[in-house]
Amino acid sequence: MHIVVCTKYTPDSEAKMSVDEEGNISWGDSPLIINPWDEYSVEEALLLRDQHGGTVTVLSVGPEAALEALKHAVAMGADEAVRVWDEACAGSDTLATSYVLAKAVEKMGDVDLVLCGKSTIDAQTWQTGVALATRLGWPSLMYTINLVELRSEERSITVERLLEEGRQVVEAPLPAVLGTTKGINEPRYTSFIGIRKAAQMEYPLWTLEDIGAEREKVGPQGSGVRWPEVFEPPAREGEAEIIEAETIEEKARILTEMLLAEKVI
Amino acid sequence: MDFGWTEEQRLWRRAVRDFAQNEIAPRVREIDEEEFIPREIVAGMADVGLLAPTVGEEYGGAGADWMMATIAAEELGRADISLAVPVLYLVEAAWGFIFYRYGSSGLKQEYLPRVTRGEAFLGIATTEPGGGSDILGACRTRGQRDGDRWVFNGEKVYISGVRESLDWGGIHLMLARTDPDEDAGHRAFTFFALPLKGTGGVIPTYFDDMGRMGISTGGFALDEVRLPLEHQVGELNKGFYHAMEGFSAARTLIGATCVGASEAALAMGMDQIKLREAFGRPIASFEGVQFPLANLYTDLEGVRLSTYKAAWLMDQMYRHGAATHHDIALAAAMAKLKAPRLGFSIMNEVADWHGAMAYTKECPIEMGIRGIRSYSIGAEGTPNVMRMIIARELLGKDFLPTLYTNKS
């Protein structure tokens, strides 16, 4: 089994975002971390590798800062890591990013399964995984909450997807692109031995030429999304009300009535 | 001079901080009240590589150097200001290292993989009812050879991890007098690996501690306790010297864990003084509040640097042969002398900033005050013993107060 996990670096989830008058987004001096949703994908890949054997490769499109995400994944236990970057890629949307990812996966050649997180905590588009599956022409298994069975001999997989309407069990042939969601597993912490490997490992850098990607299909010219204006949303206004009552049960009853009246529950 | 961190050190600090802040910090009050460290926390520490991390990989350890072990101590102190988890960590890290360095291979194979998996405890037992600072005078526990066994009689007190060792299994490195000749001086003691669980003649007792409630403090009497010869750790009658090595390691980690707890307390205090208003302004704007902060932060940064220098010296000695135990003893004694006392001062100041709330259990600072007092009283060496070590390294052995005591 060769499992590829797509990952991205993001600012820490506690970072405070701000937008200046020119529309430039800043995350302050927040440390960079692996996109938290990707940790579920890395964990699932490691569990599959331990069960079926094979290799886990983490893949990221990004500048040098992307190494943060790759190192975290290797420290968790991934075997290989590849970074793809060219200055031309800056400003890529999901359409362009999925193109670069697809080209990198095609270059690897022997990939059985690609895992993605459900979204990234900075951009929150939820599209890259689906777009990647479409580009590769592979089944797209997004929002997977339970990997029921992987049959490496038969080259097929059964997963349980978490949808708004409920859960859906689907079977697909391999190779496929699988999007994980919270609850599929409990990602492990990085370990001392993993960190030693991550700190000492070489991280190959693939250029657009290396993966045979066309320059006009990446960056802003390869993207469908335009950003005519970026601004901070107006501060939300709200009010607080303290429920006064004799007993906690009474307070709970009043709160329930208020929530029902507001159609919150 | 390079004050930066290597890539490995940076990633390790982040890993320990992630784990400790997520899994330990939210449970510190629970640990303090329930008086034990949940086993899932210990198991998690094992997965991250935090149990006896300086033990080699062949015995399940991480093969960590002392800089890495010290970084972990600082982060664990930051997460648990009650210091219960840090005590578990640093006792096993320091004395696990001594056992790894001097223990018999069969016994290491039996215990170290279990210790590093969190399935057994490894501790230290030197203090006796007669004292802990004056080992020559106070260590009366006797070890005598009887054929293929060592036989022990005596008593050890104020020992960390007695309940843990009895519950989980494991060993305490116990110092015993093996040469009855009072003139043998420091060359009269030997270390032994004593399993408290399942060993006949071991009679445990417990003390109700003031702080760091999550890890037990106890003692045990030894009544004709018999151990096979392979339980001897290190050379016969060299136990005092092996103990000094372990104490230096432990003191360095104590320095770091007190620094971490102090940093957490100061961060908590700074949040408070920026938000708390009195007389129409944040109390952080008062000189009476911000000048003590500036002084304490400056002192803390100094102690932090000297603690990491001690760790660096240990790596110089154990990894590169470029320092001696004299260098380490001096640096570790300075860290141990300063860090716990400074931490106690910082926590008291931070308590003042919080006002009456600090005197309640709504505020975690009282756990810190109770916990850190353990290390500013003694535990791995009293402040005055640290001063004696520092003076010995500065003046030479000819001025050791013990020389004059023995002459009189």
Q: What is the DSSP letter of A18?
A: E
More confident: B400 or B255: B255
In a shared domain, residues B16 and B143: no
How many cross-chain Cβ pairs, A to B, lie less than 8 Å apart? 43
Residue B1 lies in a domain: no
pLDDT for B304-351, tens place per residue? 999 999 999 999 999 999 999 999 999 999 999 999 999 999 999 999
- Tell me the nearest-neighbour CA distance from A34 into chain B, angstroms: 12
Closest chain B residue to A31, measured at CA: B14
pLDDT of B132 reads: 87
- Domain, as residue range, for B374: 239-407
The residues, ordered by sequence, that sit 6+ positions from B181 with a Cβ below 8 Å of its Cβ are B188
> Are residues B257 and B73 in contact, defined by beta-carbon separation less than 8 angstroms?
yes
pLDDT for B179-237, tens place per residue? 999 889 999 999 999 999 999 999 999 999 999 999 999 999 999 999 999 999 999 99
CB-CB neighbors (< 8 A) of B49 in chain A:
191-193
Q: Is B57 on the interface with A (CB under 8 A)?
A: yes
- Tell me the nearest-neighbour CA distance from B15 into chain A, angstroms: 6
Pairing of strands A176-180, A113-116: parallel
CB-CB neighbors (< 8 A) of B56 in chain A:
none
From the centroid of its chain, how far is CA B179? 28
Residue B200 lies in a domain: yes
Q: Is residue B74 among the annotated active site residues? A: no
Q: Where are the strands (E) in B311-402, listed by range? A: none
The residues, ordered by sequence, that sit 6+ positions from A117 with a Cβ below 8 Å of its Cβ are A6, A7, A35, A36, A37, A38, A39, A40, A41, A129, A179, A180
From the centroid of its chain, how far is CA B101? 18
> Are residues B221 and B155 in contact, defined by beta-carbon separation less than 8 angstroms?
yes
In a shared domain, residues B103 and B127: no
Residue A252 lies in a domain: no
Closest chain A residue to B20, measured at CA: A189
Among the partner-chain residues B14, B47, B68, the one whose CB lies closest to the CB of A191 is: B47
In a shared domain, residues B24 and B142: no
pLDDT tens digit at each of 265 positions of chain A: 999 999 999 888 888 888 888 888 888 888 889 999 999 999 999 999 999 999 999 999 999 999 999 999 999 999 999 999 999 999 899 999 999 999 999 999 999 999 999 888 888 888 999 999 999 999 999 999 999 999 999 999 999 999 999 999 999 999 999 999 999 999 999 999 999 999 999 999 999 999 999 999 999 999 999 888 888 888 888 888 899 999 999 999 999 999 999 888 8
In a shared domain, residues B398 and B299: yes
pLDDT for A130-159, tens place per residue? 999 999 999 999 999 999 999 999 999 999
Residue A156 lies in a domain: yes
In a shared domain, residues B210 and B244: no
Q: Is B18 on the interface with A (CB under 8 A)?
A: yes
Residue A154 lies in a domain: yes
> Are residues B197 and B114 in contact, defined by beta-carbon separation less than 8 angstroms?
no
Closest chain A residue to B68, measured at CA: A192
Q: Is B8 on the interface with A (CB under 8 A)?
A: yes
- How many domains in chain B? 3
Residue B2 lies in a domain: no
Residue linked to tokens 């944040």: B282
* Candidates A195, A196, A200, A202, partner chain B, best to mutate (most B CBs within 10 A): A195
> Are residues B122 and B95 in contact, defined by beta-carbon separation less than 8 angstroms?
yes
> Residue B357's CB: how many other CB atoms inside 10 A?
13
In a shared domain, residues B143 and B221: yes
Task: Tell me the H-state helices in B80-221.
Answer: 84-102, 105-116, 135-138, 162-168
pLDDT at B56 over 80: yes
Helix, strand, coil percentages in chain B from 3-state DSSP, rounded to 5: 60, 15, 25
Helix (H, G, I), strand (E, B) or coil at A93: coil
Question: At B68, which helix (H) or strand (E)?
Answer: helix B66-79
CB-CB neighbors (< 8 A) of A192 in chain B:
12, 15, 48-50, 53, 62, 64, 68
Residue A98 lies in a domain: yes
Helix (H, G, I), strand (E, B) or coil at A184: coil
Among the partner-chain residues B14, B18, B64, the one whose CB lies closest to the CB of A192 is: B64
Among the partner-chain residues B11, B18, B47, the one whose CB lies closest to the CB of A198 is: B11
Residue A105 lies in a domain: yes
Closest chain B residue to A194, measured at CA: B48
Residue linked to tokens 């190494």: A67
CATH number at residue A182: 3.40.50.620
In a shared domain, residues B291 and B391: yes
Judged by average pLDDT, the poorest of A221-225, B56-60, B133-137, B370-374 is B133-137
Q: Is A198 on the interface with B (CB under 8 A)?
A: yes
Q: What is the DSSP letter of A240?
A: -
Answer yes or no: do A199 and B19 touch at CB < 8 A: no
Closest chain A residue to B7, measured at CA: A199
Dihedral angle computed from the Cα positions of residues B289, B295, B296 and B300, in that order, rounded to the nearest 10 degrees: 160
**Angle (nearest 5°) at CA B365 between B248 and B269:** 100
Could you tell me which of A95, A15, A31 has the C-alpha nearest to residue A61?
A: A95
CB-CB neighbors (< 8 A) of A200 in chain B:
8
Answer yes or no: do A192 and B68 touch at CB < 8 A: yes
pLDDT at B265 over 80: yes
The residues, ordered by sequence, that sit 6+ positions from A144 with a Cβ below 8 Å of its Cβ are A159, A160, A161, A162, A178, A179, A180, A181, A184
Q: Is A191 on the interface with B (CB under 8 A)?
A: yes
CB-CB neighbors (< 8 A) of B11 in chain A:
71, 75, 190, 195, 198-199
From the centroid of its chain, how far is CA A57? 15
Q: Which amino acid is at B379?
A: A
In a shared domain, residues B138 and B258: no
Judged by average pLDDT, the poorest of B100-104, B173-177, B395-399 is B395-399
Beta-bridge partners for B282: B277
The whole-angstrom separation of Cα B99 and Cα B295 is 40
> Are residues A145 and A181 in contact, defined by beta-carbon separation less than 8 angstroms?
yes
End residue of a domain, out of B191, B214, B233: B233
- Tell me the nearest-neighbour CA distance from B380 into chain A, angstroms: 27
ipTM of the complex: 0.88
The whole-angstrom separation of Cα B170 and Cα B113 is 11
Q: Is A188 on the interface with B (CB under 8 A)?
A: yes
Q: What is the DSSP letter of B59?
A: G
Helix (H, G, I), strand (E, B) or coil at B235: coil
> Residue B134's CB: how many other CB atoms inside 10 A?
12
Helix (H, G, I), strand (E, B) or coil at A10: strand
The whole-angstrom separation of Cα A140 and Cα A130 is 6
**Residue A151 φ then ψ, to 5°:** -110, 95
pLDDT at B283 over 60: yes
Mark which residues 92-151 of A lie under 8 Å from B by CB. none
Q: Is B33 on the interface with A (CB under 8 A)?
A: no
- How many domains in chain A? 1
> Are residues B225 and B192 in contact, defined by beta-carbon separation less than 8 angstroms?
no
Among the partner-chain residues A189, A191, A199, the one whose CB lies closest to the CB of B8 is: A199
Pairing of strands A18-19, A9-11: unpaired
Q: Which amino acid is at A37?
A: W
CATH number at residue B127: 2.40.110.10
Given pLDDT bands bounded at 50, 70 and 90, which one contains residue B408? very low
**Angle (nearest 5°) at CA A189 between A188 and A191:** 115
- Domain, as residue range, for A147: 2-222
Given pLDDT bands bounded at 50, 70 and 90, which one contains residue B71? very high
> Are residues B54 and B93 in contact, defined by beta-carbon separation less than 8 angstroms?
yes
In a shared domain, residues B100 and B133: no
- Tell me the nearest-neighbour CA distance from B272 into chain A, angstroms: 19
In a shared domain, residues B177 and B38: no
Q: What tokens does B231 get?
A: 């339980």
Residue A255 lies in a domain: no
Answer yes or no: do A191 and B49 touch at CB < 8 A: yes
Q: What is the distance in angstroms between the CA of the first residue and the CA of the last residue of chain B?
A: 47
Answer yes or no: do B64 and A191 touch at CB < 8 A: no
Angle between helix B287-320 and helix B239-275 axes, rounded to 10 deg: 150
From the centroid of its chain, how far is CA B154? 24
Answer yes or no: do B7 and A191 touch at CB < 8 A: no
CATH number at residue B111: 1.10.540.10
Pairing of strands A166-173, A32-34: unpaired
The whole-angstrom separation of Cα A143 and Cα B141 is 65
Could you tell me which of B226, B170, B172, B174 has the C-alpha nearest to residue B197?
A: B170
> Are residues B208 and B222 in contact, defined by beta-carbon separation less than 8 angstroms?
no
- Tell me the nearest-neighbour CA distance from B407 into chain A, angstroms: 51
The whole-angstrom separation of Cα B247 and Cα A19 is 53
The whole-angstrom separation of Cα B125 and Cα B195 is 12
- Tell me the nearest-neighbour CA distance from A63 into chain B, angstroms: 18
End residue of a domain, out of B233, B263, B279: B233
In a shared domain, residues B264 and B382: yes
The whole-angstrom separation of Cα B196 and Cα B204 is 8
Answer yes or no: do B48 and A189 touch at CB < 8 A: yes
Among the partner-chain residues A31, A195, A200, the one whose CB lies closest to the CB of B15 is: A195
Q: What tokens does A205 get?
A: 């850098």
In a shared domain, residues B42 and B177: no
Q: Is B324 on the interface with A (CB under 8 A)?
A: no
Phi-psi region of A22 (alpha: psi -120 to 50; beta: other; left: phi over 0): alpha
pLDDT for B299-313, tens place per residue? 999 999 999 999 999
| Active-site residue, selected from the candidate residues B74, B128, B245, B380 | B380
Given pLDDT bands bounded at 50, 70 and 90, which one contains residue B405? low
Answer yes or no: do B47 and A189 touch at CB < 8 A: yes
Q: Considering chain B, what percentage of its residues have pLDDT values greater than 90?
A: 93
pLDDT at B407 over 60: no
Answer yes or no: do A196 and B8 touch at CB < 8 A: yes
Average pLDDT of chain B is: 96
CA distances from B171 to B97, B194, B213 (A): 13, 5, 21
End residue of a domain, out of B105, B121, B137: B121
What is the Cβ-side half-sphere exposure of residue B56, based on CA atoms within 13 angstroms?
A: 11
Could you tell me which of B329, B314, B307, B312 has the C-alpha nearest to residue B256?
A: B307
CA distances from A249 to A252, A253, A255, A263, B256 (A): 5, 6, 10, 21, 48
Residue A84 lies in a domain: yes
Residue A205 lies in a domain: yes
Closest chain B residue to A33, measured at CA: B14
Question: What is the per-residue DSSP string for B283-312?
Answer: GGGSHHHHHHHHHHHHHHHHHHHHHHHHHH
Dihedral angle computed from the Cα positions of residues A68, A70, A74 and A79, in that order, rounded to the nearest 10 degrees: -160
What is the Cβ-side half-sphere exposure of residue B62, based on CA atoms within 13 angstroms?
A: 27
> Are residues A120 and A157 in contact, defined by beta-carbon separation less than 8 angstroms?
no
